[in-house]
Amino acid sequence: MPVDATPDPYADPLKFGQRVQVLRERRGMTRAQLADFIAVSPHTLKKIENGQQQAPGIDMVMRIAEALRVRDLADLTGLPEMHVDLFVGPGHPRLAAVKAAIDSFSLGASIEPPPVAHLEARLHAAWKARHGAKNHREAIGKLLPTLIRDAEALVRHADTGNERRAAQSLLAQTYSLSQFFIAYQPDSSLLWRVAERGMVAAQDSGDPHAIGVAAWLLAQAHRDSGARHFDAADAINLEAVRFLDPLLPDASDDVLAIAGALEFELGYTAARRRDTGTAWRHWDKANTMADRLPADYYHPITSFSQAIMGAHAVTVAVELHQGGESVRQAARADTTVIKSKPRRARHRIEEARGYQLDGQPDVAIATLQKAYEAAPDTIRYNGYARRIILEEAESKQAQRRRRASELAVEVGILAA
């Protein structure tokens, strides 16, 4: 390797601090930004990276891993025995079948498409299963291969422009459902194919609601790829908001809700940047849109509603690392009205992050247990939950360590 080449932490036996520096630079983060995320001074982080300070304990290692979105602890520590995936969950048993359906192209007319009403009913049932099942990936994973095949066939067999646009709208919705299944699984290229195909199908449909949903999901794919992609996420969100804005005075509840969900996503990304004012400003805009919706309304895809805004407030506070504020928002949020089990579990995870930020690790573990009870598939694939559980499984407090270890076994992070 040339002397001026950047060392590869995945191949070279680097020290911990060197790995932190290389991975930080690959993420496009400055030392000051990472130091802020992990709550140390830039001077302390510099000493860690230069090897002038002893390698930190497990709690700091986990915080660094979260900030750098390290997928495997071994990549950060250089220790093969610490091979633990953080932000990628285990590959679901049905992932291969879903991938095969997405990757397969039938160019002939051998597959007879179902009636439009039949496919609409199946998609409605699939979304209902996604929100109602504890093991939601299993529930939708077994439905997706035939849904993908039939939605693509419907597009191919469309005879008129109106039929094709309607079919493209259903195909976009099918890809949206697929993205929920694929997210946080070990196949990022598949996720990108689905997100981009969904956007193309939605644009071809001309359906404002389908376009809004596809933009919402594509922006999330960008944002979850790291800080260097935040601008791309914002650009997609802003373009979708501008596209929908003229329609809002007379919009249906679904269009108004997806516009509100996009507005909140702008706040979420701002919070990830630690831009407090912008984050809460977009939350306020989203909340205003939510107030225009019926009290019992619940968006069938994003879960956007009046009820969800309390959960969104917790998320903003957590991403801003405002521990006390996140706990206050958690106390105000009424989780019992969150109908979707996966979304309820996600909210519990955000609450747990807030409790840990606020120095209440025992409450954090108890809250993660509630998340597991609501939807095991959600916590099993969530990197934040996995980090907290693994960190507390190393606690010096025996009872806390035992509870965290038991939950780690239930979630499948540690062997029994």
Q: Quote the pLDDT of residue 19.
A: 83
pLDDT band at 12 (very low <50, low <70, confident <90, very high): very low
Q: Quote the pLDDT of residue 10.
A: 46
> Is the pLDDT confidence value at 296 over 70?
yes
pLDDT in tens, 311-325: 999 999 999 988 888
Shared domain check, 198 and 104 = yes
Residue 245 within any structural domain of the chain: yes
pLDDT in tens, 65-97: 777 777 667 777 766 555 555 555 567 899 999
Residue 110 within any structural domain of the chain: yes
Shared domain check, 260 and 221 = yes
> Is the pLDDT confidence value at 336 over 80?
no
Domain end, chosen from 32, 47, 82, is at 82
> Is the pLDDT confidence value at 254 over 90?
yes
Inter-residue long-range contacts of 16-22, CB under 8 Å, 24+ positions, other chains counted: 16/48, 16/55, 16/76, 16/77, 16/78, 17/48, 17/49, 17/50, 17/51, 17/53, 17/55, 18/49, 18/51, 19/75, 19/76, 19/77, 19/78, 20/45, 20/48, 20/49, 20/64, 20/68, 20/76, 21/49
| Domain enclosing residue 156, as ranges | 92-206
Q: Quote the pLDDT of residue 14.
A: 58
Residue 332 within any structural domain of the chain: no
Average pLDDT of 275-288? Answer: 96
Average pLDDT of 355-378? Answer: 93
How far is the C-alpha of 305 from the C-alpha of 309, rounded, in Å?
7
Shared domain check, 133 and 73 = no
Domain end, chosen from 33, 51, 82, is at 82
Shared domain check, 155 and 137 = yes
Average pLDDT of 402-410? Answer: 92
- Total structural domains in the chain? 3
Residue 167 within any structural domain of the chain: yes
Shared domain check, 152 and 112 = yes
Cβ-based neighbour number of residue 124 at 10 Å: 12
Looking up residue 53, the CATH number of its domain turns out to be: 1.10.260.40
Task: Say what percent of the chain tops pLDDT 70.
Answer: 90
Shared domain check, 109 and 71 = no
Shared domain check, 216 and 199 = no
Shared domain check, 196 and 147 = yes
Shared domain check, 41 and 130 = no
How far is the C-alpha of 75 from the C-alpha of 80, rounded, in Å?
8
> Is the pLDDT confidence value at 396 over 50?
yes
Q: Helix 161-182 crosses helix 188-205 at what angle (to 10 degrees)?
A: 160
pLDDT band at 188 (very low <50, low <70, confident <90, very high): confident
pLDDT in tens, 90-149: 678 999 999 999 998 776 667 788 899 999 999 999 999 999 998 999 999 999 999 999
CB 244 within 8 A of CB 259: yes
Q: Quote the pLDDT of residue 187.
A: 84
Shared domain check, 193 and 96 = yes
Residue 337 within any structural domain of the chain: no
Shared domain check, 266 and 186 = no
Domain end, chosen from 279, 306, 333, is at 306
pTM to 2 decimal places: 0.80
Beta bridge partners of 72: 85
Q: Which of 283-287, 320-324, 401-405 has the lowest mean pLDDT?
A: 320-324
Shared domain check, 251 and 263 = yes
Q: Quote the pLDDT of residue 372.
A: 94
